[in-house]
Amino acid sequence: MEGKEKKSGFSSKIGFVLAAAGSAVGLGNLWRFPYLAAQYGGGIFLLVYLLLAVTFGFALMVTEIALGRKTGKSVIGAFSELHPKFSALGWVAAAVPLIIFPYYCVIGGWVIKYLWVYLVGQGASAADDGTYFSGFIGNLGPSAFFMFLFMAITALVVMLGVEKGIEKVSKIMMPILLLISVVIAGYVLTIDGAMAGLIYYIKPDFGNFSIKTLIAAMGQLFYSMSLAMGILFTYGSYMRKEDDLESSVRHIELFDTGVAFLAGLMIIPAVFAFSGGDESALGTGPSLMFITLPNVFESMAQGRLIGIIFFILVMLAALTSSISLMETLVSVLCERTKMKRIPACLVVFAVSMGLAMLSVLGYSSWSHVTIMGRQILDFFDFISNNVIMPLVALATCVLVAYVLGTKTVEEEVEQQNHTFKAKKLYRIVVRYIAPVILLMIFVSSLLGVV
Ligand code: PHE
């Protein structure tokens, strides 16, 4: 009996880590991280990101999971229980997925399109300098269709509520994704000219540092670790009291950062190799993955097969994340309006389709429209990651450090005799470092520095 109990405790911690990692590992790691690293200075971006992940990312993830577990509530309920003055904060945090989910589906649609291209054996036509890709996103019909497809699959899963199945799939899929990434990255490094890219990616050049590097790295941290949008509160509320919170957070972080690092290793050296060392090729932004990798696959012996496997895995990783995004929206709607699950799914679907169409149009019929100098999809990405999330994170830190006291979180981490190993670091980060950096980011985002 006793052995059994221990085992179920253990497997439940693994289950928690994997579920959170499934939400965390997605397009943020595979698509967003490499293009940001390429754009914002390579090695220096990587260094800043890693430093932020082990300090700031760690502290915020611990805080969110601990507060979720302590209150047993979603982000809206948790904040109003913790402090009535902070209840609006829960709402702001819960609104973030509404901005992210629609445009996430746009990129998800691009992934399905590329999977299709490889399935029908047309990978060669996608391997060019970007003409194929811009032709595709510039064409309203097809890009709207693939976005719709991705969102419809997500909605179907959320309606059916087959979370168990998804969890099982991600347990098998995540290791395969890691393996394939290692194979592709290994291959990329053998291509002529890739070494210069590797150096650019891993060797920090302090001359490349600017406030933009910091802001971009911080925004990426929120996005990639699913922070500052209430998701981890919900996950925390499902976590068992006897599970070690601190080490779970370390594992989730390791997984998330590991996949991001590998994605950069696949893409950045390849950009160097195929552009003949032309650094301007690094600044192509969101389209980087869709332009560079087809060239890599084209030059590989089994390129078509690798292309198929790769895009299937990216699609699955993206789906597990988009499902968790939509699930959050649906559960907030159900909780607040007493609506039933299926109608709530339809409402979220309809609203998100509308918002996603704005992003799709932003690359096609409305490509002349810019908001704060950005295309529509970029604008949604920017406003959520660089403005709202820092604000939510700042308010969370202030609440914990100066209103409730860090004890609230520390005691939760130390439940059932666990020691909080990084307690000192945690205090310093939440009290001083995080608020200062967050304030800086918020202000410079608003002033349009980035
Ligand atoms: N973290 C996910 C990614 O890296 C995106 C995401 C954000 C998923 C928020 C769920 C919630 O792609």
For ligand 1, the distance from its centroid to the CA atom of residue 231, given in whole angstroms, is: 9
Contacts of 11 (CB under 8 A, 6+ apart): none
- pLDDT of res. 250: 93
The sign of the torsion formed by the CA atoms of 112, 115, 120, 126 equals positive
pLDDT in tens, 405-437: 888 888 888 888 788 888 889 999 999 999 998
CA of 77 to the centre of ligand 1 (A): 22
For the Cβ of 226 lying below 6 angstroms from any atom of ligand 1, the answer is yes
Instruction: State if residue 332 touches ligand 1 by the CB under 6 angstroms criterion.
Output: no
Residue 165 burial class via C-beta count within 10 angstroms: exposed 0-12, middle 13-18, buried 19 and up: exposed
Nearest Cα to 347, choosing from 73, 158, 113, 129? 158
Q: Under a CB-based contact definition with an 8 Å cutoff, are residues 399 and 83 in contact? A: yes
Has residue 88 got a pLDDT over 80?
A: yes
The Cα–Cα gap between 267 and 367 comes to: 27
C-alpha of residue 24 to centroid of ligand 1, in Å: 5
Ligand 1 pocket, residue 385 CB under 6 Å: no
**Distance, CA of 60 to chain centre:** 15
Question: Phi, psi (5° rounding) for residue 25?
Answer: -80, 115
Check pocket membership of 47 for ligand 1, CB cut-off 6 A.
no
Task: Check pLDDT > 50 for residue 127.
Answer: yes
Q: Which residues are paired to 52 by β-bridges? A: none
CA-to-CA distance for 240 and 13, rounded, in angstroms? 8
Coil, strand or helix at 371? strand
| Whether residue 136 has pLDDT greater than 80 | yes
Taking only the tens place, the pLDDT of each residue in 303-354 is 888 889 889 889 988 988 898 889 888 888 887 888 888 999 999 999 999 9
Residue nearest to atom 4 of ligand 1 (CA): 28
- Which residue from 429, 41, 28, 386 is spatially nearest to 219, judged by alpha carbons? 386
**143 CA → ligand 1 middle, Å:** 21
CB 22 near ligand 1, within 6 Å? no
Give the DSSP per-residue string, 136-189.
HHT-HHHHHHHHHHHHHHHHHHHHHT-HHHHHHHHHHHHHHHHHHHHHHHHHHT
The pLDDT tens digits for 14-56 are 777 877 888 888 999 999 999 999 999 899 999 999 999 999 9
Q: Is 322 in the pocket of ligand 1 (CB under 6 A)?
A: no
Question: What's the rounded Cα separation, in Å, for the pair 261 and 267?
Answer: 10
Distance CA 116, CA 111 (A): 9
* Interatomic CA distance for residues 367 and 385, integer angstroms: 22
Token readout for 350 is: 């309809």
The position carrying tokens 């997984």 is: 255
Ligand 1 contact via 321 beta carbon (within 6 Å) = yes
Q: How far is the CA of 103 from the centre of ligand 1 (A)?
A: 12
Mean pLDDT score of the chain, rounded to an integer?
86
Residue closest by Cα to atom 9 of ligand 1: 226
Domains and CATH numbers, the chain: 2-447 (1.10.4160)
In the predicted structure, residue 7 carries a pLDDT above the cut 70: no
Residue 23 Cβ inside 6 Å of ligand 1? The answer reads: yes
Which atom of ligand 1 sits closest to the CA of residue 31? 12
pLDDT for 323 equals: 87
Name residue 56's amino acid.
Answer: F
Write the pLDDT tens digit of every residue in 142-174.
Answer: 999 999 999 999 999 888 875 666 666 667 777
Residue 373, phi-psi category: left (phi > 0), alpha (psi -120 to 50), beta (remainder): left
Mutate which of 170, 325, 388 for ligand 1 pocket (most atoms within 8 A of beta carbon): 325
The finding on whether 224 has its CB within 6 A of some atom of ligand 1 is yes
- Tell whether the model's pLDDT for residue 8 goes beyond 50: no
Q: Which two tokens stand for residue 381?
A: 């990405």
231 lines ligand 1 (CB under 6 A): yes
The DSSP call for residue 79 is: H
Ligand 1 probe mutation, 158, 321, 392, most atoms within 8 A of CB: 321
CA of 224 to the centre of ligand 1 (A): 5
How many angstroms separate the CA atoms of 123 and 31, rounded? 19
pLDDT digits (tens, 9 = 90+) for 290-311: 988 888 888 878 888 888 988 9
137 or 144, greater pLDDT? 144
- Proportion of the chain above pLDDT 70, given as a percent: 94
224: nearest Cα among 190, 282, 198, 263 = 263
Q: Which residues pair with 374 in a beta bridge?
A: 371
230 in contact with ligand 1, CB cutoff 6 A: no
Distance 326 CA to ligand 1 centre (A): 11
